Amino acid sequence: MSVYYRLLAENLPLLYRRAAEEFDAMPAFATRESALKWKPVSYRDLFEQGLDLATGLIELGVNARDHVGLFSDNRFEWILSDYAVQFCGAADVPRGRDVSVTELAYIIEHSEMKVTFVENNDLLDKILHLKDRLPQLKEIILLDPKAEVRDGARSLQSIAKMGKALRANGDRRAEERIEGILPDDLFTLIYTSGTTGTPKGVMLTHANMISQIRNLPGLHNPNDRVLSVLPVWHIFERLIEMYTISFGGCTYYSSVQTLGDDMRNIEPTFMASAPRLWEKLHERIIKNIKASHWMRQILFHIAYFLARQYKNSEYFITNKYLRLKYIPMWIRALAYPLHVLRWLIVLPWYGFFNAAVLERIRLG
């Protein structure tokens, strides 16, 4: 498919259902199995697995409009649990696995969650240590399929297996919950980490997210490959994941540590990012250059200078230049031929040094 694509619906689970029907066996998400091997899951399989897990959660007592914890970093089990919680008509309360004990206790208590997912046994131990202070928390579900399931917790696989058996016998409670979700129902409750004092819970509805998806530029299609490296519980990353679902692309879960290799292997066409991410990559490159031979350092600085000149003029000519203050039209008109001249002069030198130096730089 080369045409731009976009699916919309009244709520997020209905969007996921439309994606399963439209994109079926196409890959929706992929996780790393080894350096060069990725394990994909199709839109159809993800939707069906989400229904199985949701049915298991409903059997455990998760009600519509409940708040369900989801403490984990980027991984397939995260998106599967996110699907399932929404299929229950509930709202998830996400946070990364580096959450402190103090914040963990506050979020669980303040959100009044009865059920929570945790990524690993380290998080499980933190919660079990707090259990006496959290009488409302009834169920803890472990995401990592390789982790040992200890007393006081259940595995995600066991809940999904229970739900699958119930659905095989005709249980359609999850499907009924999906139909009953209203646009103004919460789909997530995100507690901030950057504020002073106690975290603040940000309430977002299905209508909020559908509106965001609707208003993003429709410039993508099912051929797109999206790299996920920002924390998956941040709303910007979540928006991009749901937007990707709407056009049938495949999201690859990466990390800052493997980003360089993943960008070369996956060749993503689209990704969400933040300034700090690129600052870290820039710092790593500069550190490697400083540790290299003096001749290589000189060649790098020449190539870097030429690249900046070339790109600055290219962006000005194509009107993609980031302007932080107003520039009168007459000044831009005078500057235009100067940028064209610089672009033409630098072009051959940039082409040579880019191929010989910049494209050979590695992040390792």
- Mean pLDDT along residues 272-300: 88
pLDDT the model gives residue 1: 45
Q: Does residue 6 sit within a domain?
A: no
Q: Does residue 113 sit within a domain?
A: yes
Residues 144 and 80 in one domain: yes
216 or 87, which is more confident? Answer: 87
> Whole-model pTM?
0.84
Q: Does residue 1 sit within a domain?
A: no
Tally of domains in the chain:
2
Residues 241 and 110 in one domain: yes
Position 323 confidence tier, pLDDT thresholds 50, 70, 90: confident
**Residue finishing a domain among 237, 271, 305:** 271
pLDDT the model gives residue 348: 94
Residues 301 and 179 in one domain: no
What would you report as the CA-atom Rg of the chain, rounded to the nearest whole angstrom?
24
Is residue 115 within 8 A of residue 66, CB to CB? The reply is yes
Residues 258 and 222 in one domain: yes
CA–CA distance, 45 with 133 (Å, rounded to integer): 38
Residues 235 and 352 in one domain: no
Quick check: 19 pLDDT over 60? yes
- Domain hosting 295: range is 275-360
The burial of 59, by beta-carbon neighbours within 10 Å (0-12 exposed, 13-18 middle, 19 or more buried), is given as middle
Residues 260 and 284 in one domain: no
91-124 pLDDT, tens digit each: 999 999 999 999 999 999 999 999 999 999 999 9
Q: Does residue 2 sit within a domain?
A: no
Is residue 363 within 8 A of residue 281, CB to CB? The reply is yes
pLDDT the model gives residue 35: 74
Residues 264 and 292 in one domain: no
193 or 320, which is more confident? Answer: 320
**Residue finishing a domain among 230, 246, 271:** 271
Residues 154 and 246 in one domain: yes
327-354 pLDDT, tens digit each: 888 998 999 999 999 999 999 999 999 8
The pair of structure tokens assigned to 206 is 């299905």
CA–CA distance, 296 with 302 (Å, rounded to integer): 10
Residues 181 and 94 in one domain: yes
Q: Does residue 52 sit within a domain?
A: yes
Q: Does residue 167 sit within a domain?
A: yes
Task: Region of 234 please: left (phi>0), alpha (psi -120 to 50) or beta.
Answer: beta
Q: What angle do CA 351, 352, 355 make, to 5 degrees?
A: 85
Strand, coil or helix: 208: helix
> What is residue 200's DSSP assignment?
-
Residues 100 and 206 in one domain: yes
- Mean pLDDT along residues 6-17: 95
Q: What is the CATH number of the domain that holds 195?
A: 3.40.50.12780
Q: Does residue 136 sit within a domain?
A: yes
Residues 224 and 356 in one domain: no
The count of other CB atoms within 10 Å of the CB of residue 250 is 23
pLDDT the model gives residue 360: 79
Q: Does residue 5 sit within a domain?
A: no
The pair of structure tokens assigned to 196 is 């002073």
Residues 310 and 267 in one domain: no
CA–CA distance, 78 with 131 (Å, rounded to integer): 23
Place of tokens 């030429």: 306
**Residue finishing a domain among 226, 245, 271:** 271
